[in-house]
A = this chain, B = another copy of it.
Amino acid sequence: MHSKRFFTLSASCPDRVGIIARVSGFIAENKGWILESSYHSDDSNDETRYFMRLEVKADSLPFNLSEFRERFRPIAEEMQMDWKISDSAVKKRVVIMVSQQEHCLYDLLARWQSKELDIEIPCVISNHETFRGFVEWHGIPFHYVPVQADNKQAAYDEIQRLFEEARGDTMVLARYMQILSTELCHKFSEQIINIHHSFLPSFVGAKPYHQAYQRGVKLIGATCHYVTNELDQGPIIEQDVIRIDHSDSVDDMVRYGKDIEKAVLARGLRYHLEDRVLAHGKKTVVFR
């Protein structure tokens, strides 16, 4: 990470000879100073696909963000790229969803407060009033959106309205214990990040620590992933584990797990916000 302002170009396209040359040639012609660049070729499917991410020093280029996009467009079209360019000076807008567990919320607000996460948090949404005081003390609006069996659609609609009103880029489910609607999952594909409290694909669904305890595993973990409408099946961004043993009860596992959950969520969210994560079917390329 640099303190300098930079543009980030991330893209994927069918692999062929000359992609790097074409892209880096364009940057060089414009005297662009490349701060960091990463490339990956994936040949696991029939079509070999190419992934890339470049950071270019903003003031080394003779144009601004929109002109950068305009000039790059023909290359991107020629290469059939999925692509985007972002500006480090434009803070991402992250909406946090929370229920009644504190650890991920405290952790994210600590990182935001110290500018370690240099983002805007336009609001926090919860199905409980528990953290209203804490969130509002930080000067962040708090929205209570109850979710009950008989009002789910209305709740989903309200969440969507609030997210759009907040001009959110990313929605973080910070141990938000509700399942979102298929519609929300589709509408905000690769914009919603969840932290699941197991090392997926083990222990999908409810009470994963109880499942882990029953099975007698010797490590427990957490998984940060994009939300899709298949429960806990979205592309994995980051995972980690911690060692336990026979003396640890389910409560101990919950406690150890919280430390892994917040660390994994914070790392995964950062990768996402820095455009380091390129989804590829059910998997991700993460240019750490």
Closest chain B CB from A86 CB (angstroms): 19
Q: B residues within 8 A CB of A38?
A: 38-39
A50 nearest in chain B by CB position? B34
Is B236 a contact partner of A217 (Cβ separation < 8 A)?
yes
A30 nearest in chain B by CB position? B17
Q: B residues within 8 A CB of A37?
A: 20, 39
Residue-by-residue, is A19-43 near B (CB-CB < 8 Å gives 1, otherwise 0)?
0111011011101111111111110
Is A247 a contact partner of B33 (Cβ separation < 8 A)?
no
Say yes or no: A243-B243 contact (C-beta < 8 A), given A21-B25, A27-B21, A235-B216. Answer: yes
Closest chain B CB from A62 CB (angstroms): 12
A106 nearest in chain B by CB position? B110
Is B215 a contact partner of A238 (Cβ separation < 8 A)?
no
Q: How many residues belonging to A are interface residues under a CB distance threshold of 8 Å?
A: 78
Is B106 a contact partner of A283 (Cβ separation < 8 A)?
no
Closest chain B CB from A67 CB (angstroms): 19
Q: B residues within 8 A CB of A31?
A: 17
A169 at the binding interface (Cβ < 8 Å): no
Most B-side CB within 10 Å, residue of A17, A27, A44, A240: A17
Q: B residues within 8 A CB of A27?
A: 20-21
A189 at the binding interface (Cβ < 8 Å): no
Closest chain B CB from A133 CB (angstroms): 8
Tell me, in angstroms, the Cα distance from A245 to B36 when the chains sit together.
14
Is B246 a contact partner of A283 (Cβ separation < 8 A)?
yes
A156 at the binding interface (Cβ < 8 Å): no
Closest chain B CB from A79 CB (angstroms): 13
Is B238 a contact partner of A241 (Cβ separation < 8 A)?
no
Tell me, in angstroms, the Cα distance from A109 to B134 when the chains sit together.
12
Most B-side CB within 10 Å, residue of A41, A266, A284: A41
8 A Cβ contacts from A246-282 to B: 246-247, 249, 251-252, 255, 258-259, 263, 266, 282
Cross-chain pairs A/B with CB under 8 angstroms, 26 sampled: A1-B252, A1-B255, A3-B251, A17-B31, A20-B20, A21-B24, A21-B29, A34-B39, A35-B41, A37-B39, A40-B246, A40-B247, A44-B213, A44-B249, A101-B114, A102-B114, A106-B110, A116-B255, A199-B199, A199-B202, A200-B215, A216-B282, A218-B236, A243-B243, A246-B284, A259-B266
Binding site for B on A (CB under 8 A): 1-3, 17-18, 20-22, 24-25, 27-29, 31-42, 44, 60, 101-103, 106-107, 109-111, 113-114, 116, 133-134, 137, 199-203, 213-219, 221, 235-236, 238-241, 243, 245-247, 249, 251-252, 255, 258-259, 263, 266, 282-286, 288
